Homo-oligomer: A and B are copies of this chain.
Amino acid sequence: MRLFKLRKHATVRGYIHDWLEPDDVDQFNWMTAAIVLLVVASLISLAIETEAVRADTPMPAWVLEDIRLFNQVVVYIFAFEFLLRFWAEGENPRHRGVVGRLRFLASPLAITDILAFLPELLIMLFVPQEEGAWLAAARALRLFRLLKLARYVPAFSIVGNALKRAGAPLVAALCVAAAQVYLAALMLYFIEGEAKPEAFGSVTRALWWSMVTLTTVGYGDVYPETVLGRIAAGLVAVAGVGIVAMPTGILASAFAEEFRVLQERREQKARDAAKTDG
């Protein structure tokens, strides 16, 4: 796809580095797409594996076998990708030489990449019998593959920037929400504690109801039944709308600002390009 760009690079390593670490987030080559697909597939296979492993699930044995095989392949691919990246990182002046490589190994991106394959690789190579406990632990570490996604899907950066922009007020809204949850639990504890002790008999118990109600999830496992309790719960539910409305309002304006900045940057780029051409 971007083969024509090879001329820009003096060496094959330079080409591979540029290919693994495109400097423009808008670029999306097939390499990136392949890794994203592999991560998604390995997360889905992890979910299916936890199901297939169970004795009470009517699933043919080969499913589990195939998933294990697929997972081994993924581990080798990610190991190979990491080695390639480790070698190509020499193009980056900050990561040149032994000290530079150590600095690279200590970077969060490298650690993520390592945790995404190394634990399982070690177990695959050195633990002869498949011991459940080790496997479960290694499996949990597959979660780090989720973090690989964040790096490869460029649109994540818009969401990340907007969250950063919303920062302090978003935290404040969460504090207000937490205070609301606590207050609601305390109120229902005083009102309904006598009538429904198993659900509202203590603040800790009432907190479960309060969280489920204020986030408008409403499972229906606990709810007040006295008249006063229902009036209080109704007011709490209405106040719960504010819990949803505040972060939404904050995020809405943060995204609006983020879009405006992106738009300006794009226009600036267009003007610069026009100047260079002119």
A6-14, A48-56, A106-114, A264-272: which lies at the interface = A48-56
State whether the Cβ of A184 lies closer than 8 Å to any Cβ in chain B.
no
Q: Are B248 and A186 in contact (CB under 8 A)?
A: no
Q: Are B218 and A51 in contact (CB under 8 A)?
A: no
Residue in contact with A238 in the complex, picked from B202, B211, B249, B250, CB distance below 8 Å: B211
Give the dominant DSSP class at A's interface: helix
Interface residues on A, range: 35 or more
> Which one of A47, A172, A219, A221 has the highest number of Cβ atoms from chain B below 10 Å of its Cβ?
A219
Question: Shortest distance in angstroms between A191's beta carbon and chain B's nearest beta carbon?
Answer: 12
Q: Are A249 and B252 in contact (CB under 8 A)?
A: yes
Residue interface mask A51-90, B partner, CB < 8 A = 1: 1011011000000000000000000000000000000000
Residue in contact with A237 in the complex, picked from B176, B217, B247, B256, CB distance below 8 Å: B217
Residue in contact with A162 in the complex, picked from B155, B182, B211, B249, CB distance below 8 Å: B249
Q: Are A203 and B153 in contact (CB under 8 A)?
A: no
Q: Are A246 and B159 in contact (CB under 8 A)?
A: yes
Residues A168 and B158 in contact in the complex (CB < 8 Å), given A202-B54, A213-B217: yes
Residues of B within 8 A of A202 (CB): 47, 50-51, 53-54, 57
A246 and B256 alpha carbons, distance in the complex (Å): 11
Q: Are B248 and A201 in contact (CB under 8 A)?
A: no
Q: How many copies does the complex hold?
A: 4
Given contacts A217-B218, A246-B251, 5 further A-B pairs with CB under 8 A are: A43-B182, A50-B203, A155-B169, A156-B175, A208-B234
Residues of B within 8 A of A38 (CB): none
State whether the Cβ of A134 lies closer than 8 Å to any Cβ in chain B.
no
Question: Shortest distance in angstroms between A92's beta carbon and chain B's nearest beta carbon?
Answer: 27
Question: Shortest distance in angstroms between A189's beta carbon and chain B's nearest beta carbon?
Answer: 6
Residues of B within 8 A of A138 (CB): none
Interface residues of A in 219-236 (CB under 8 A from B): 219-221, 223, 230, 233-234
Instruction: Pull 20 A–B residue pairs with CB atoms less than 8 Å apart, ordered by A.
Output: A47-B202, A47-B204, A50-B189, A54-B202, A56-B201, A143-B183, A146-B179, A155-B171, A156-B172, A162-B249, A169-B255, A169-B258, A207-B234, A211-B234, A216-B217, A219-B219, A219-B223, A244-B245, A244-B248, A252-B253
